[in-house]
Structure 1
């Protein structure tokens, strides 16, 4: 009870700041959409206050987290017009291709193309730009139709393969799009059904991760409620599934390190192996997070022999899944030598030989990249710029500082989570993050940067989100004590900041 009392001044401060900020942005753009966003945000904040102040001890925190996550995901699904999420056109049609490839559909043509409804193609072709503005919102209202007849037409603007599209990470959007097409919904409802499916899978995984993890819950809340995470989870991007699986892996690791002794049996081992087999081939650089399972003490297993066998199978499962689904794309990065395209640009990308054989130049390119783009990396990890990196919608750096504060709180010794890894495990958790970040940078160095450029192109902070839990928990320190509930402060703080984010976002976007 004392922790909630100590938190009250902080809650009051957040509430006052929210009130003044909301008034300012409504005066900036007094439209009904802005007022609606402010109203929904106020309801969310007041509801969360009621949950913590009155019924927190009777209402399990996991249900509070679930309600908060669902609310924000619904908002993020509909607040971004179609195809305004980065590369969403590609991801939408890759999902369409996967749906067409299902045996009972068989809409894939012999020339490598596939069939799409003309109304869905018109929705894609008819957009004036990828920018978010008042006209993009008006277009939805004017052209929305719940049911709409459409004819199937060939489409081959994009080419896809199982190894490049991370099928396991797009299960939600595949199911959602299939349901929309089955019921003959209009272009907009079908599009949003795919987003809803993606968000539901993410929500399920994040909720289960919260329930499984005996410790590190504040880390799961922080990563799940980041604007960039919500942005991706409520879209067709396969990053939605990747982050969802990584949260489950992290939760299983927490259970392995902090669960009751001899609590890991065959069931838990099989679940971890399945999740690992889903995550590893999506992005090989995240395999380090999965292999942290090898550090779980054998004393946590119900049978020591079964534990050893499980760890050996884990290594085999990671290697096998990568070799089966990713070896082709990996070999392309290593061996490519001919001209390649990047949008409208043509050139030759860096090769592994270029990097190794010219160490001085590689050293300079790498650290010049960190020096010039470091701010962009941490900002885009949190989500300072959503959509297609639209400049007028970018948030000022000071707005991201509270998010950094909540991430820092996750790293502190607190009343509700006074738990720490051993020094060696902490270092290895941080190394797993560093290797994934380095791997992401190198992959774009080889697959998106021309060999005459002196800064690595294409790296975005969202690539670091799946391994961010490992960095945060690995960085936990006893140097500072947070004399309150980190979980309640992080949950409430993230809720308020996200509401402020949405109010500012919609106020600017709807008046352009």
Structure 2
């Protein structure tokens, strides 16, 4: 009888998994039919110009030249945007394309008939030159487009200008004020089908793993590993290279560290990193996710090597950060270079090492957390947490170590009977890593005050350990960051030059201390909602991928209820401890804002500039634990509901990103 019941229970669990996955497959199928399939019929747009500025006048007999840096290894169509044509139907416009050596790689003639000149794209008149077959070029090389109008002397063509291209147009040898608005198109974007199919397979496979782990009642930390790895890889694909804020600067810094390890050429020409792999997306436009970027990344991951010169290129300035900040990414890049991966595979290898590091550290954080494990689970899986976790940003390491430190302190406060030397060593190492990267988070070690002195043996030993932790944070910070910190406090002249305006600097508030409360109150009133939204992940990428409010509200609710006490849990945070945790959390938030106030905010501004919600992620678990109360008690099964809800919201986030990026 018992075997039959167990068998029936097994079938019920299997049915739940199958039904859930079928529903998910159905939703993905609808998205494919309604959105992906039509987009796959569109042309690939490799170079896109936004119409802006003055018109360019081309007279009959003149030649207009425009240099364009190609963003692919082939193209099929060139579109020239124009406002007006004053001429005859017999007039001819000739387009020739030359490479850097002056060799003509393509030439077309277009008779400007009424039918031709009436063609429009997105409401703008365009002259469309179509090649008979795909023209192969060198990716990231500069080519010159030459336009010549042949007609009567009084005939004119008025082209739109743009600020999207680096080089200005040239008419008969004279440089114009504007660049010519040009689009370079390829074939149909059929590759998005395969890209979406890959994302769909990963999503269904990942949800299947999570469902199995949930139904087998695995531990929270194991379910976290499954969830974080699956969704981390998916985020890695839907948020392409350089689409995370400042990722290009972080990447070239990690790459430079790898070059030092391998004994390769590092920096030159103003501290710019030397990149050996030409396929790397080193162009400034790489931060903007598009379907073309998706396809390019997919092809690169599958081993396609783009046409390039094979010569080293400069990839941007190396950041003055401790090398430990990028240790996982540097290791990933080094392994990829030793294995002779192409540039895109190399980039993703660094990201993968970052993700694995984040997952491993956070796994141990959740494992040792004595209670309220769901607080760490949800915080670590927020869309913004996941975006940073799979990127080259040092936020990955800061967030993971901060979560671990918080968990370890609570482990010492509420569970472990005696504090040992190895405990102090572990916390000291964490402090020594996190402080030089972002010194404001050293505030977290203040949780050690809550550890009863009896666990140390004596009060003297407790305060001696506190002194050791302080030194562990101060010494590496002074060694690696003292110059930059002094500049920031003194007025940050370098930052003023970078930003183009005078920043406050720390010295200013020594003379105008009374202005601080007003600025902080004004900032809190105006920006709190923005901080909460961006902390969760309302705006991903370079803050241009808007996730629906419903998804963000869902994550916020999960955060707030994640601290609820489970039946049987005896551990409670008393009021005195909550007050101290609140003080530490508030102090950390104030310090974050103060740093941006003196280093990023223009003198005279009453709202602090440059603060993003992701900066508060390391102390989110401390803030959420303040909502833990003995009056709200939930069943153990409630954890499964939170974890399942988190997975559903993650999928909603990923699909929202695709919904925004694919039509671009």
TM-score range (shorter-chain normalised) is: 0.7 to 0.9
CA 1:499–1:342 in 2, change beyond 3 Å: closer, same or farther? farther
2:411 equivalent to 1:405: no
Q: Per-residue deviation at 1:339?
A: 7.0
Contact 1:415–1:486 (Cα < 8 Å) also in 2: no
Q: Which residue of 1 aligns with 2:586?
A: 434
Q: Is the 8 A contact 1:385 1:394 kept in 2?
A: yes
**Separation in 2 of the partners of 1:159 and 1:51?**
42
Aligned-pair CA distance for 1:179: 0.9
| Counterpart in the other structure of 2:359 | 203
Using the TM superposition, give the Cα deviation of residue 126 of structure 1 relative to its aligned residue in structure 2, in angstroms: 4.1
SS of the residue corresponding to residue 221 of structure 2 reads helix
Using structure 2 for the length normalisation, give the TM-score.
0.68
Question: How many angstroms apart in 2 are the aligned matches of 1:372 and 1:66?
Answer: 37
* Alignment equivalent of 1:50, drawn from 212, 216, 226: 212
Are 1:212 and 2:368 an aligned pair? yes
SS of residue in 2 equivalent to 1:511: coil
Q: Which residue, out of 618, 627, 630, partners 1:466?
A: 618
* Equivalent residue number for residue 189 of structure 1: 345
Tell me the CA shift for residue 173 of structure 1: 0.3
SS at match of 1:116: strand
Q: Check whether the contact 1:433–1:467 (CA below 8 A) recurs between aligned residues.
A: yes
**Secondary structure, in 3 states, of the residue corresponding to 1:280?**
helix
> Equivalent residues in 2 for 1:156-167 (5 A)?
157-161=316-320, 165-167=321-323
Evaluate the alpha carbon distance shift between residue 388 and residue 478 of structure 1 in structure 2; reply closer, same or farther with a 3 A threshold: same
How far apart are 1:158 and its partner, in Å?
1.1
Q: Among 471, 478, 490, which residue is 1:323 paired with?
A: 478
Task: Report the CA distance between 1:297 and its aligned residue.
Answer: 1.2
Q: Which has the higher contact order (CA 8 A, sep 6+)?
A: 1
Greater per-residue helix proportion: 1
Q: Provide the rounded CA distance (Å) in 2 between the counterparts of 1:115 and 1:19.
A: 44
Pairing partner for 1:259 from 415, 418, 425: 415
Aligned to 1:134: 291
- TM-score, length basis structure 1: 0.87
Q: 2:241 corresponds to which residue?
A: 82
Structure 1's 125 and 46: CA in aligned 2 closer, same or farther, altered over 3 A?
A: closer
Q: What corresponds to 1:4 in structure 2? A: none
After superposition, residues 221-236 of structure 1 pair within 5 angstroms as 221-236=377-392
Task: Please name the residue that 2:430 is paired with.
Answer: 275
Q: Does residue 501 of the first structure (1) align with residue 501 of the second (2)?
A: no
Q: SS in structure 1 opposite 2:552? A: helix
Q: 1:19 Cα deviation (Å)?
A: 7.9
Quick check: 1:173 aligned with 2:329? yes
Q: Tell me how large the CA RMSD over aligned residues is.
A: 3.0
Shift of 1:124: 3.0
Deviation at 1:20, TM superposition (A): 8.2
2:232 and 2:268 map into 1 onto residues whose CA distance is: 38
Conserved 8 A contact 2:267-2:274: no
Who is 1:370 aligned against?
524
TM-aligned CA deviation for residue 471 of structure 1? 1.1
Note the alpha carbon deviations across 1:156-204, whole angstroms, 9 max, x for none. 741433xxx2422321101001111122211101111111111111111
* 1:204-234: CA deviation from partner (whole Å, max 9, x where unpaired): 1011112222223111101111111110010
Contact 2:531 2:613 in 1 (8 A): yes
What 5-or-longer segments of structure 2 have no aligned partner? 1-12, 38-192
Match of 1:423 among 575, 581, 597: 575
Task: Tell me the matched-pair count.
Answer: 491
Offset at residue 28 of structure 1 (A): 3.8
Q: Pick from 223, 226, 235: which aligns with 1:64?
A: 223
Structure having the higher strand fraction is: 2
Contact 1:414–1:485 (Cα < 8 Å) also in 2: no
The residue aligned with 2:597 is: 445
Tell me, in whole angstroms, the C-alpha distance in 2 between the residues paired with 1:126 and 1:328: 31
Larger radius of gyration: 2
- Extract unaligned runs of 5+ from structure 1: 1-7
* Cα separation, 1, equivalents of 2:22 and 2:313: 55
Paired residues of 1:73 and 1:234 also in contact (CA < 8 A): yes
